[in-house]
Amino acid sequence: MNLWGYLFGSKRKDGAPLPQIFFTDTLSGKKEIFVSQRPGLVLMYTCGPTMYGPAHIGNLRPYMLSDTAVRALTEAGYQVRRVINITDFGHLVTDGDSGEDKMTKGLRREKLALTMENMRTMAEKYTMVFIDDLAALNIDVEHISFPRASDYVSEQIAFIKTLEQKGYAYRTKDGVYYDTSRFIGYGKLGGIALESQQEGARMKAYSEKRNPADFVLWKPDPRLGWESPWGRGFPGWHIECSTMSRSLLGQELDIHMGGEDLIAIHHNNEIAQSEAISGRTFVHYWMHNAFLTMGGEKASKSVGNVVYLSDVKEKGFHPLALRYFFLQAHYRTPLSFSWDALAAAASALERLWKLSSEVAEEAGRTSAPSEARDQFLAAVRDDLATPQALGILWDSLKSDEYAPEEKWGLLEDAEAHFGLCLLNPPVTKARALAELPADIRELVARREKARTSKDFEEADRLRKELGDRGYHVEDSPDGPVIKSL
Ligand code: AMP
Ligand code: ZN
């Protein structure tokens, strides 16, 4: 924590003191009051996905976390500078320097030759999908930097060279390694005792490693990669985050985020690299999200229990239903995904939209302060307690204690923190369909069933029947759209 900021407090540009915000820091293991290094400015880095396929909805959870934190900080008066890196080339080694590289796997899946050009093209394709997915979740992508690791190779080489000059790196026939025994306090984040017990296997594969936890900084490859003082090859996976965060945000970050699987190795390695060079605290607040699980297990491509945002949309859900689903759980709690749970979130959001439309009308979109607003802000500022904040929102909207203007004021705050389109709810198909008479809905459903089971004759007959009743059906990529004639 920044002592100066702690003693003297941070001020907004208008001179008003910033409200207190608390975050749980993985390093101290405690909930801490947040103080930025520079008054009113927050430097935030979130580890990005590897672009070997579309990001599954579990992969999206860290960016929901950073977006929720950004909204809370921005509403409190901070300016936030944020970076999400894009891992767009393979390292021919994984997290623990063993197994197959994800990008190589991705190219094989797409039946593409292992070339640098194909790697970059595949990565760009999935980067676009990723950014579109974030935008669909109402994450403000316009104000996020998405640096590509392949654009920072010379900086990564320079970083490794400095580590070598400072005596933190050594060469073996398998490449350049970081010497973790040289870094005092290595593994301080989350405690990696368990991890090092599993290192035996790695030690065998890379027998020239001096210590079990040592990790690769440069991996030679005679066929591919970039030229370097250590021959052609690739930077190790961990170095890109240390390098790009330094290039874009500086040597000390306020907040660094990612999924909890990154704590043991990746983030400890980032600390070892960055602090060896700067001699300063690399990150002041480490924040990690718990997993999204499916069928009791971490959702992951290797297990195969994954769902993509495209699946969510194909099933007719609004992407914001997924956003609502995420907000129902605290970021440090595992979140169990099922289609039923998503359907429940979707219908809750539909009800919220309906309620907010009513309040908009009653209050004429004028807002007033209330105790509920204070409680709501206290909840989101208390380590982003979104489930509690949602509870306060629901209770207050349903209560007779609050005037419509007070409810509208609360909705304005809720929208700023949640990004659920509460102030201008979209007209969704579910709502439009729900507003049709029951017998018409029944005809639409029967026609949809006939159409999906390719009984086009029956589908056409039902379309005609609907037409006779005054309703016109159009098929769109995400379901039928009904218009009254
Ligand atoms: P990767 O592409 O595997 O590097 O993952 C990108 C981000 O998603 C990292 O921050 C991971 O920690 C996170 N992540 C991966 N799987 C899950 C999951 N099932 N639930 C939550 N976060 C995850
Ligand atoms: Zn990282």
Identify the CATH number of the domain in which residue 366 sits: 1.20.120
State whether 407 and 454 are in the same domain.
no
For residue 301, being part of any structural domain is answered with no
CA–CA dist 218, 361 (Å, integer):
62
User: Could you give the number of structural domains in the chain?
Assistant: 3
What pTM was computed for the model? 0.86
For residue 161, being part of any structural domain is answered with yes
Domain span holding position 454: 430-484
- Among candidate residues 361, 391, 418, the one where a domain is terminated: 418
In sequence order, the β-bridge partners of residue 30 are 25
State whether 445 and 398 are in the same domain.
no
Q: Which mean pLDDT values do the consecutive 10-residue runs of the chain (485 residues) have? A: 50 74 97 96 97 94 98 97 94 58 87 90 96 97 97 98 98 94 93 52 64 93 93 94 98 98 96 97 98 91 89 92 98 97 95 94 96 98 98 97 98 98 79 72 88 90 88 71 65
State whether 48 and 85 are in the same domain.
yes
If you measure from the C-alpha of residue 471 to the centroid of ligand 2, how many angstroms do you get, rounded to a whole number? 53
Q: Say what the pLDDT of residue 2 is.
A: 47
Spell out the residues 6+ positions from residue 209 whose beta carbon is closer than 8 angstroms to its own. Answer: 172, 177, 202, 203
Q: Say what the pLDDT of residue 437 is.
A: 75
* Whether the Cβ atoms of residue 68 and residue 84 lie closer than 8 Å to each other: no
Q: Whose CA is nearest to atom 8 of ligand 1?
A: 59
Q: Say what the pLDDT of residue 95 is.
A: 52
State whether 470 and 344 are in the same domain.
no
59 lines ligand 1 (CB under 6 A): yes
State whether 441 and 377 are in the same domain.
no
Q: Say what the pLDDT of residue 101 is.
A: 81
State whether 246 and 346 are in the same domain.
no
18 lines ligand 1 (CB under 6 A): no
If you measure from the C-alpha of residue 58 to the centroid of ligand 1, how many angstroms do you get, rounded to a whole number? 6
- Looking from the CA of residue 290, the nearest atom of ligand 1 is 21
Q: Say what the pLDDT of residue 94 is.
A: 52
State whether 55 and 158 are in the same domain.
yes
Spell out the residues 6+ positions from residue 448 whose beta carbon is closer than 8 angstroms to its own. Answer: 479, 480
As to burial, measured by CB atoms within 10 angstroms (0-12 exposed, 13-18 middle, 19+ buried), residue 201 is: exposed
For residue 310, being part of any structural domain is answered with no
State whether 217 and 362 are in the same domain.
no
86 lines ligand 1 (CB under 6 A): no
State whether 121 and 250 are in the same domain.
yes
- Among candidate residues 418, 439, 454, the one where a domain is terminated: 418
Other CB atoms within a 10 A radius of the CB of residue 20 amount to 14
Collect contacts of 152-157 with beta carbons under 8 A, ≥24 apart: 152/240, 152/243, 152/244, 152/247, 153/226, 153/235, 155/243, 155/244, 155/247, 156/235, 156/239, 156/240, 156/243, 157/218, 157/226, 157/228, 157/229, 157/235
In sequence order, the β-bridge partners of residue 172 are 175
149 lines ligand 1 (CB under 6 A): no
State whether 409 and 464 are in the same domain.
no
For residue 320, being part of any structural domain is answered with no
Residue 102 DSSP label: H
State whether 439 and 401 are in the same domain.
no
Q: Which residues of 56-81 are buried (b: 16+ CB within 10 A; e: fewer)?
A: bbbbbbbbbbbbbbbbbbbbbbbebb
For residue 323, being part of any structural domain is answered with no
Instruction: Give the CATH number of the domain where residue 68 resides.
Output: 3.40.50.620
State whether 265 and 181 are in the same domain.
yes
Best mutation site among 260, 261, 309 for ligand 1, i.e. most ligand atoms within 8 A of its Cβ?
A: 261
Q: Which residue has the tokens 């002592």?
A: 3
Q: Say what the pLDDT of residue 194 is.
A: 43
Q: Say what the pLDDT of residue 13 is.
A: 58
Q: Which residues of 134-169 are buried (b: 16+ CB within 10 A; e: fewer)?
A: bebbbbebeebeebbbbebbebbbebbbebbeeebb
For residue 308, being part of any structural domain is answered with no
Tokens representing 111? 């039946």
For residue 163, being part of any structural domain is answered with yes
Number of H helices, E strands in the chain: 18, 16
Three-class SS state of 318: coil
- Looking from the CA of residue 259, the nearest atom of ligand 1 is 12
For residue 464, being part of any structural domain is answered with yes
- Among candidate residues 251, 274, 289, the one where a domain is terminated: 289
* Whether the Cβ atoms of residue 253 and residue 85 lie closer than 8 Å to each other: no
